[in-house]
Amino acid sequence: MLFSRLLSVLPQPINIPTDQAPAVLPPTISTFIAAAVGISEAHVSSFWMRDDIWALPPQALTQEDKELFRKHGWKYGLTSMVMYPPSDFCTNPKCGRCKPLKKVHAVQIIVYTLASGVVPAWEVQLYCLDCNTTYYPNYSAQHGTRTYHDGDIPQYISIGAHQYTERQLIASWISYMLITSVSATNCSRAYDMGTQNPNAVFGSGTG
């Protein structure tokens, strides 16, 4: 169901708690859902089942769903994409902290994707009070030293301050450079020319 599918990705770290369902949806979320689903805000309030929806794991969104965020959500700081560190607990072997990490803050970022062009998103940073380690989606940082998370190459890779690129997009650029000898600069130019939302930022979009 579109209503619950959109709400499943909306416990976002902007201006509301994310660990429990609000009694009433914030006005920006209510307005977004009403516009995206095509119902009144009064109906949104009536259909709001609190924890039954808030506790849902994020559901896979269709390209049409993502377009609804672009049209109706970006101007309110709502996006289909939020980047979290892979663990809620400190993974520093010298720490041994058992309590969940403290949320530091959420930072607005830009993500370069293969299918959806440039997409605004949020990067959530978590902090360990015991060993002073800050956790980012791709790595942790302690006293100026970065340690990249174990496991597979992440779906979205940090390429600079507040910028991420989708792994598949990077793979396509590498293929172009290896097979057709296209330069990195021309790969970037071709992407800018052909992409959707080349200047995607929160506050943009139509609706």
Beta bridge partners of 106: 124
> Could you tell me if residue 197 is inside a domain?
no
> Could you tell me if residue 173 is inside a domain?
no
| Angle in degrees, CA 111, 186, 190, rounded to 5 | 55
Q: What tens digit of pLDDT does each residue of 4-60 get?
A: 788 777 765 444 555 667 778 888 889 999 999 899 989 888 888 777 776 677 778
Asked if 207 and 74 count as a contact pair (C-beta separation under 8 A), the reply is no
> What is the average pLDDT across 110-130?
91
Residues 3 and 56 in one domain: yes
Question: Average per-residue pLDDT in the chain?
Answer: 85
Residues 42 and 115 in one domain: no
Q: What tens digit of pLDDT does each residue of 55-97 get?
A: 677 778 888 998 999 899 988 889 888 899 999 899 998 897 7
- pLDDT-derived band at 207 (thresholds 50, 70, 90) equals very low
| Residue where a domain terminates, one of 52, 80, 108 | 80
> Could you tell me if residue 176 is inside a domain?
no
Residues 89 and 75 in one domain: no
Residues 118 and 152 in one domain: yes
pLDDT (0 to 100) of residue 14: 45
> Could you tell me if residue 186 is inside a domain?
no
End-to-end CA distance of the chain: 22
> Could you tell me if residue 89 is inside a domain?
yes
- Compute the distance between CA of residue 106 and CA of residue 85 in angstroms, rounded to an integer: 12
Residues 89 and 108 in one domain: yes
- pLDDT-derived band at 190 (thresholds 50, 70, 90) equals confident
- Domain range for residue 156? 81-166
> Could you tell me if residue 38 is inside a domain?
yes
Residues 55 and 98 in one domain: no
pLDDT (0 to 100) of residue 52: 73
Nearest to 14 by CA among 65, 68, 70, 79: 79
Domains contained in the chain, number: 2
- pLDDT-derived band at 102 (thresholds 50, 70, 90) equals confident
> Could you tell me if residue 98 is inside a domain?
yes
